[in-house]
Structure 1
């Protein structure tokens, strides 16, 4: 293949050395076009055919166009461009642009003024390019005859005869066609020769990028900037240039933030929550639930009485397994209402309780009348009744227990007593069971139990119940109650040897005054009596409160005989 070679010669005076460097005409027989005023691309191969005027070359007139375009077919290293014009006038200039992607953008190699009579123009253009565009402005019409683009036909070469390979790490394998310096380095190497890896915390194209916050003296991979030993705490990403987010922190952002307030991101390095914790959590990182019977914001809430002193829910304070006996509510912070007790206050106090202990159910405040026991589950016994079983039963029939609540005798009273509670002695000449029997009509007064006329009979009558008329030849008042039933004085009725029990006086015909009884009424009734029988001293009118017995000698036992 025919190739034109351009020789550049210069003499280095200082060294006395003569150099000859050769570059190939890259434009030879390549595609060339111009666009006339009708905007239809026209072939311009005559300007790249290698034939100048002096060797039968042809030229193109500039009358109808102002720009010539040449396509080298690939990106090549250009050294300079030589253009040949004909019929150059007194004024005008031309310029050269090169590019890699289109005809209309790229680099400008420079503007040249045209001089009359001068046909050959040398323009330095040290670029790598595929497209070359030559444009001009003339006062007159001139002709462009040839365009020669000199450089290296083989990519990635420079120097004499384009024989030297560009440095290994040049960007796209391209270097300065003369000096061999890289026009740019591949990622990770320093300009100009691209032989040295990036250092000092840099990476990437021409080492312009700054490494992220890498571990190990902040050194990253010289090409892609990755931190080979990982990131310092608080950063992540291949380049360690991203702060930890999404509730992560620490080395490699592998730590998970605790429960920071309102889901706030924790400190990217140490994981601390800058504005406190969500309710239910504590410590610097808010990674520990409330304990020690606390809950809520700042763990300032105090748990209620959870079952078996169990920790309540760390956030809302609820007791997960119920309450201790005596408490209720979601937080077990409310005492049982009246009438309930036990775990979660689900048990009911005994029906006979005035009010029970909220924990144990024991009737601390006493029982309803008629009941006793820790839970008021037992009726009063031992002849007691009423509130706290402090009432004492009266003289119920055959010592039968009275009603445990009101003290009434369900089956009536023993002889000599009456009333609902059998606590009243017979009165108004009555006697017997419930005092329903009447003393004999001739009886002065009868025994409340037996009905015997112990005081005597009305005049003209005799017998146990004064039911017999006096025998013949007797009349008048009877003798008094002389001792041992002795006959009284036959004239005045005096009792010569004293009186029988229950009476006193000359005739032994005066009953003992209240509080006295016995022979000649010489004895005093028992101190706890309300009044005693004048014959026997029995407390037939009842006992003082808290005493009972025939003589009111027993505590809690009494008769009331009226």
Structure 2
């Protein structure tokens, strides 16, 4: 049954006021139940029989409960399955009298509630409407209640359990429902004409008004309502996947991308996105699994002939199925398929050769063992496997050994001498000459120090530094005379004579005569026995 016009248009919250609607009455002639029944012709089913032209309680068209002291009362209809409900229409009994504050039935209608549930227990469902504000003068009849929920049972409930009650309320709970109409659609429909929802992702219900899908579309479908199939050679979720190479350019299946008549030549797979391998003689592969009917081209192997053979010994082809080499690998390679280079500083056939001492610990070439950046110090050769000889050491054996004791060869890496240095030499490599130790003593062969002191004319830790000006003798411990010119660092003799007025080997004695330049002085005194001047004239002065 379809209702065309609503009987009453109401402006209160939670009430519906459309001018025209075409939702189906889902409650018509469905099983109904109520908590109590007044008489045999007032059973619960009377409220869903589609008749309400006689609104007298006992006219045979209304469901009426027993009114003897009931504190709660309940009526429900079973819609036969979960439905998408839009609104509920209720026609209460009027006793065929004017519906106003003087109508006694208003007091029994006040305070009612409507629930939607998937079970017969209202507490398992949702509350659509509860009257908390109507009075006997304002409560509408009939009433339309907006109720956009999914459920199987629509439950009408009223109670008188907590006196005192608001003004105008009856003292007992009472049902007098002449008709209850539940308008909506089956689940997975929308709109007033109950159109079927599209293919919403996860099979969820679309919006009951607009038909839009809350979480997008199933694979292969697009559009706000998820009612359009993928096109333009696309498929899958949100039509984001591109079709493969279907035979003759046909579009693929919009959901899974499969090709209805197989793949183009050279392609295979469910979606024809895989390229055939290197089949023997250029034959096409199988369109489903990519296998080659007569094996692989030389140098290839595997089910689809896409794998390249490794480096088999003597250039032999590998096994066409598993890629193994029948007679082993070429030098520098290992593994069943000869596709792995030697590692762990090995090289050669079966990786049995050990690399030499390549520079900075680098691995050698996996085939011939050569070192890419030369050798470590102390070794040479293209494989860096020979120690330095001929009294050489260091990088590329370019360094010459020093003067090792008894002519022994030095260490090939750092040039150190195993048994120390020859006499007169010192240092790690015995390349440093001893200084001039006193009494001809030999210096320490490690640091070059002299055991007792330095010879005359030298000083320093290794006795190899000449005395500084003004010093002479053993370890330069003696001071030259103050009046000496050109003091010899070995014996202190004044090689260039003495300052004027001094004489002796070390210029340590006063001279009786001295030449002094003439200064414009008229006399000499004890404090100034002579005058120094730059004039070319001079006098001989007696001291």
> What is the TM-score normalised by the length of structure 2?
0.33
> What is the TM-score normalised by the length of structure 1?
0.32
Q: Flag the structure with larger Rg.
A: 1
